[in-house]
Structures are given as structure tokens and as C-alpha cells.
Structure 1
Amino acid sequence: MPTESPESAVRLRYAAAARLPEAALCCPVDYDRRYLEAIPAEVIEKDYGCGDPSRWLQPGETVLDLGSGTGKIAFIASQVVGPRGRVIGVDMTDAMLEVARRNAPRVAERIGYANVEFRKGRIQDLGLDLDAVGAELAGRPVDGADAFLQLHELAERLRRERPLVADASVDVVVSNCVLNLVDAREKRRLFAEIHRVLRAGGRAVISDIVCGEDVPDALRRDAELWSGCVSGALREDRFLQAFEEAGFRGIRLLKRDAQPWRTVEGIEFRAVTVEAFRGDDLPDDGPPATVVYKGPFREVVLDGGTRFRRGDRVAVGSRTAGEFGRPPYAGCFECVEPRGAEPTVAPATGLSFRAVPGTTTDGGCCGGGACG
């Protein structure tokens, strides 16, 4: 770890970058110019990222942007989701929030509606509203152990009674080159928080920096490299595994840059965009459906260990059948009438393919009465 905490290094560097643009903090990314036209130049010049998760949003969705900075992705997302959608940006840096909040009315005037708000918080602790903490502490300095304990109690009460982002309250969580900046000791909590705030069936679309090898301790202690989106990057396979361990399903790479963004001491760092789904919370005890995996692979294995061989008939529960009818599984399975004896019932656990086809065929599985 850096001598100063990773969070302090990040906060100081990005506060400075909110005042004076720093080219080293971003990768070259092509954004849709239609959406950029409505965004003030100040926002664009002082925004730092490595991808464009807004490309995978849909009209009407409620979107949470983690580490929203000056607001570029949030303002793009606001136009994609439209007036029936909503966008919430979360950032911990006052200087970044000031730019975003000051420019929000200008963007709203240009696009004809206001559907964006910016909140102060840490993305690994989406329960705690730091503006609310500041308001509660105004005139109440933390000047001793008792006051510190009272602060802890205050934080717990705010998380419980007035969370920054409530449980199961958003359709999509996006982030652009921010997860790597979180302290390694808090990354597990970060992924759990993303899962917590998503509605059943919701998804995360995360653009971030990953690396091909483990980052050595000497680099991890370098505050400049950590705050520069290098030292805190997860190894590519472990980045995907972190979603899996947090309970996500249907995890897949939407985009992977062939060329590394940087190479440091022989280690390649590149940008990826990952999509991961939160499964339904419904019990899997409805009438079973019989499904056939259509290919193109000979066999797919769910994270729970269940195997689906191409062409075999397998009985699944109603929840699983419903999930097979929606992205990213839609088109991979087909519901069929049972033939003879009931097929083997597959445990409905861990609905994430180890491999996912790049394209799907038309049609779904058991959603929308397809198995009726």
C-alpha cells in the first residue's frame, strides 16, 4: 500500500485534477458526439475514464454512476435514459462534485429536462451520505474518544435510516475507471455494495483497468501509480471473479482493449468493460420448465457446477427459466415439452456461464409465456 492511504492519494490528486486537467489520468475513448454537444467543455476536460459504459444503457432506466467525477458519464447517461429515466452520481471529492453540480442545470436546460443528481459518498460505502454526516457534525467537533464513538453511532444510524443509496433501488450501476482506485482491503465490500443497490434482474456495467499479472508490492506502495489507475488494478481473471463472489450472474466481457493502456515494469494494464447481472430474488419453486441448450458450445457449466450439454433436455425451476429468457441468456436456451419421463432437475444456482457466445439467436427461453 502507499505510505499515505490510497483514498487520501486519490482524493488529493483528483481534487487537483478538478481544477487543472491532467491528461495522464485518462485513456483515449470515443464517446457519441451527439451527447457531448449538451455537456459544457469544463466537464469534458476534467473528466477521466477508460471506457464508455453508457453505450449499454436503455431508455427509462435508473442509473447509478460510481465515482461520477465532474459528471460526463452521468450527463451522457441522462440523455440515453431520457426524461423517464434517472441518474444518480456518487463521488467523494468536493472539487469534482462542485463542477458536476454547477453544470447540471446547464445540461438540463440544453436537453430539456432534469434527471441527474450528485451525492457525496464513498463508492465502497453506498449507505453513508457524507453530506448528511457533515450537516450533523456542523458545530460538533470530534475532539475525543467519546465524540468518536458518537460519530460511529451517527454513521450507523444514517446508513440505517437515511442511506445514500437504498437497497434494490437502481436498474444499472455504471462506473468508468474508478473501482481500481479503491483500497484493496475494501474491494470485496465495494462489489457487495454494487450488488446490494441493484434491483433483482439489474446489472452492473463497469469500465475499468485490469492487469495481466499480479502487481508487486513495490508498485502498490507507489501513491502516484495508485492514484493514476495503475497499482490498484485487479488481475483480469480476479476482476471477473470479484463479481462472481459478490453474487453476480451472467458475467461477461463486453469490451476488451487489445492494446494495453500502459506497461509498467513489464506488466500490461488495459481497459475492459464488464457486464454482470443480479439474479431474481424469487424462490425457484414454481412449475418446472424443460430447457434445451442450443449451442454453439458442446457444453456450458454454471458456476454452481450444473452442466448443460448441447441438445440435452433439462428441467429447471420457474425462476431459472425466467432468467434464461432474458439477457445475457436469451437465445441460448429453448423451452420444450418433456419427452417421456421427467428430465433431470438441474440445481438453480450460480447462473453464470464460464463462456458466453458473442452473439445470440432470435427468440428467448421461458420468459413471456414461451413455455406455456
Structure 2
Amino acid sequence: MSEDIREKVKEYYSALQSSGDLKTSVCSCSSASQEVQDIIDGLPAEVNERFYGCGSPIPPMIEGCTVLDLGCGTGRDVFVLSKLVGEKGRVIGVDMTESQLEVGRKYQDEVARAYGYAASNVEFKCGYIEDLAALGIADDSIDVVISNCVINLSPFKEQVFSEVWRVLKEGGELYFSDIFVDRRMTEAQQNDPVLRGECIGGAMYIEDFRRLMRRVGWDDFRYTASRVKHVDDAELAAKVEGATFFSRTVRAFKLPAQLEDLCEQYNQKATYLGTIPGMPDYFDLDDHHRFMKDVPLDVCGNSCAMVENTRFGAAFAIEGDRSVHYGPFPGCGNIPYDTGDDEDGGCGCGCC
């Protein structure tokens, strides 16, 4: 049955010629930064017209990085990343729909020339995002993994996240946008080919996603953005009546020895130096941690690790270490997840 779902999704997206062919706006992109939007505006029209995404999962400070895009489609985000990683960086796009990849490959050299590169730093691979090993993507080889409204389509979600964990380097980042829901979808809803193709039937129940992430290795992850998405097709809305859907962007770092399942107090402070490109005044780690330039911020051990022991480390000055523990970080507790619009109610571990 799961393989059948995957084939139906492939058929669904093979038939689409533009985002206007979708029946709902659930899988539609929210606003990007001005820098990213300027890059998008310069891409070939066909690449942009056949883009299907629900967010803008383009993280900062990726120059020189190797970035993997899961479910890259025609390559819109791949080409944005290609510009941002620079000529010495590398971008790999994976998708199971060959007709989508053909569009990206058609413009690959043209985009590289437009960026002034001697050769393209982009590679497109046809395959399944839950089996990256079959595509030759090695353990601990990727700096950043992104995805834009694709993981919900997979019937093998735990395998997807396990593969991401495998290929990421220690300190590497998973940064993705997708559709979440406030309850579990029924089997009939999950198997409905139109609901699935519209990113509704496979939407991830928020609490099951939290549990899945912990099983794979992420004891803490963060949300950086959230927006309620309305099913604007009456027939499809009737099939999922009562459910509330969200487009959310998730940030998770592979720090297996440093992240705990609760925010713990070690009396640490982190000061942002204002050196992340495009972010001279502040840096948002997530939706509830804004680091202002030159202003020390008390942080839990997890938040400190996320800015100290990742590629962001050069942009922060850290005070303190983990030699003395002071109990749970003030204000933390086992708080149920808040599903309100635009507010995420804390970090992925549900403790802030």
C-alpha cells in the first residue's frame, strides 16, 4: 500500500504543469527574504512556474556548504541555494519525478553562467528521499538538508528522517518547511490520491512528529515559522472537516551528545556578534529566541549548543560551559504543544 501511495504521488506531480494546476493553496509558498526573492526573480520562468512549496527553507550562512534538497522538483530552491553557497559550494537535488528533474537539468548550465560560475555546482538525482544511500549519498557528508513541502508526501517518513540523520555531518542542520495537522489523518484520508497530492492526506500530526524526531535522534528541534493553511476546495475541505493544517518551518541540528530532551540550566550566555550575512542587527534561532547584536542572552544548554557547535559558532561569543548544572532552565516544564496560528508555544521538546 505504501509503495502504491508513492506511485500515485509520482503520477499526480507528473501531470502538473504549473502550481495553478493544484486544487488548493495548501502547498503554496509564503514570503521569502528580499535576497532570496531577488534570486528567484532571476530564474527561468519554467522553473518558477512549476514550483510547489509551502515555505522558504533557505537558512543563512551557507557559503561553501554542501546542501541537499529533498524533493527538489524543477530545482527552484536548488538554484537559489546554488547562488548562496557560492561557486565553491555544492547543491544536490533529489526528486522521484523525472519529468520535474528534466526541467532543472535543462537550465542547469544557463543558471551557472548567469552566476558567473565556470561550471555548475548543482547535481540532480532521480530517486526516493527515504533511500539516499541508493543515490550514493554518504554518511556524514552533508552540511545542510532542506525540503519544501515534500516530506508529507512520503509514506515512509521515519525512514526519511533517519536518512537525513545519517547523511548530515555532526553539527549539520535540517531546515525544512512542510504541512502539519492537529490530529492524525485516517487511513482513508491518507490513501486518497488527491488529498495526498495536495499535501493534506500525508500531513504530519504535530505530536507524532515530535515523537518520531526523538526516536531518530533529535531530542530537541525548533520551529522558526508557522501559519494556518486553509483548504480552499469545498469538496476536499469536507473530507478533512474539523482538522486544522499548518505550514511550519523546522530547524534541527545533529548534535547527538549535546542536546537533551529538556531545556537545562548551565548558567550560559550567548552574544550575537552581528556577523551572519544579511543579519547585522539580530539573528533568530527560532520563533522565540532572538539574539540582538552585542546583547548577552541567557540560554539553556540546548540553545547554547545550537549556536556554539554548528556553523553559526563563529558568529557568537559564549560565556560559561556545562561543568555545573543548575536544574531545568527557568520557565521550562512539560507544556503541551500550542497549535495556535503564528505561535509555536516553545521548542520542539515542548519545554520552553
1:132 is matched with none
Verify the 8 A CA contact 2:29 2:52 in the aligned structure 1. no
- Per-residue CA deviation, residues 104-161 of structure 1 (Å, 9 max, x unaligned), is 11111111122111011100000113xxxxxxxxxxxxxxxxxxxxxxxxxxxxxxxx
Residue 349 of structure 2 is matched in structure 1 by: 354
Deviation at 1:57, TM superposition (A): 5.2
1:108 aligns with 2:112: yes
Q: Which structure 2 residues correspond to residues 280-319 of structure 1 after superposition, within 5 A?
A: 291-293=266-268
| RMSD over aligned Cα atoms | 3.6
Per-residue CA deviations over 1:179-199 (Å, capped at 9, x if unaligned) read: 01011xx21111100100000
SS at 1:88's partner residue? Answer: strand
Partner of 2:86 in structure 1? 82
Match of 2:131 in 1: 125
Q: Secondary structure at the match of 1:39?
A: coil
Letter of the 1:174 partner, please give it: I
Instruction: Verify the 8 A CA contact 1:249 1:276 in the aligned structure 2.
Output: no
Residues in 2 aligned to 1:91 and 1:337: alpha-carbon distance in whole angstroms: 42
Residue 338 of structure 2 is matched in structure 1 by none
Amino acid at match of 1:221: N
Which residue number corresponds to residue 320 of structure 2? Answer: 335
Counterpart residue number, 1:139: none
Task: Provide Cα deviations, 1:14-50, integer angstroms capped at 9, x if missing partner.
Answer: 1111588524363142233311133100010011010
SS in 1 for 2:176: strand
Q: For residues 250 and 83 of structure 1, do their structure 2 counterparts lie closer, same or farther at Cα, with a shift above 3 Å needed?
A: farther
User: Secondary structure of 1:267's partner?
Assistant: coil
Residue 7 of structure 2: aligned partner: 8
Identity of aligned residues (%): 35
- Which of 198, 201, 225 aligns to 2:168? It is 198
1:171 aligns with 2:146: no
Partner of 1:181: 153
The TM-score normalised by the length of structure 2 is 0.71
Q: CA deviation at 1:356?
A: 7.5
> CA 1:215–1:322 in 2, change beyond 3 Å: closer, same or farther?
closer
> Which structure 1 segments of 5+ residues have no match?
130-162, 283-289, 296-310, 347-351, 358-372
| CA distance in structure 1 between the partners assigned to 2:127 and 2:87 by the alignment | 25
Paired residue secondary structure (2:134): coil
> Highest Rg: 1 or 2?
1
Q: Is 2:59–2:175's contact at 8 Å kept on the other side of the alignment?
A: no
Deviation at 1:250, TM superposition (A): 4.0
Query: Is contact 1:176–1:208 with CA below 8 Å preserved after alignment?
Result: yes
Give unmatched runs, 5+ long, in structure 2: 259-264, 271-297, 328-346
Aligned pair in 2 of structure 1 residues 40, 332: CA closer, same or farther (>3 Å)? same
Alignment of 1:189-268 (within 5 A): 189-260=159-230, 264-268=240-244
- Rounded to whole Å, the distance in 2 between the matches of 1:111 and 1:356 is 44
Cα distance, 1:6 vs. partner? Answer: 1.0
Q: Is the 8 A contact 2:269 2:320 kept in 1?
A: no
Q: CA deviation at 1:249?
A: 4.6
Mapped to 2, the partners of 1:5 and 1:332 lie a distance apart of 51
Using structure 1 for the length normalisation, give the TM-score: 0.67
Q: Is the 8 A contact 2:18 2:49 kept in 1?
A: no
**Range 219-228 or range 44-53, more displaced:** 219-228
Deviation at 1:336, TM superposition (A): 6.4
C-alpha contact 2:19 2:52 (8 A) present in aligned 1 = no
Q: Give deviations 1:232-285, integer Å, cap 9, x for gaps.
A: 111122223322221125400011114546653121122100011111679xxx
Counterpart residue identity of residue 140, structure 2? A
2:210–2:349: 8 Å Cα contact kept in structure 1?
A: no
Higher RCO by CA contacts (8 Å cutoff, separation 6 or greater): 2
Q: Contact 1:38 / 1:107 at 8 angstroms: preserved in 2?
A: no
Q: Check whether the contact 2:175–2:251 (CA below 8 A) recurs between aligned residues.
A: yes
Mapped partners of 2:112, 2:351: distance in 1: 39
Aligned equivalents of 1:255, 1:74: Cα separation in 2:
21
For the structure 1 residues 291 and 331, does the alpha-carbon distance in structure 2 shift closer, same or farther, using more than 3 Å as the test? farther
CA distance in 2, matches of 1:180, 1:10: 11
Could you tell me which amino acid in structure 2 is paired with residue 15 of structure 1? S
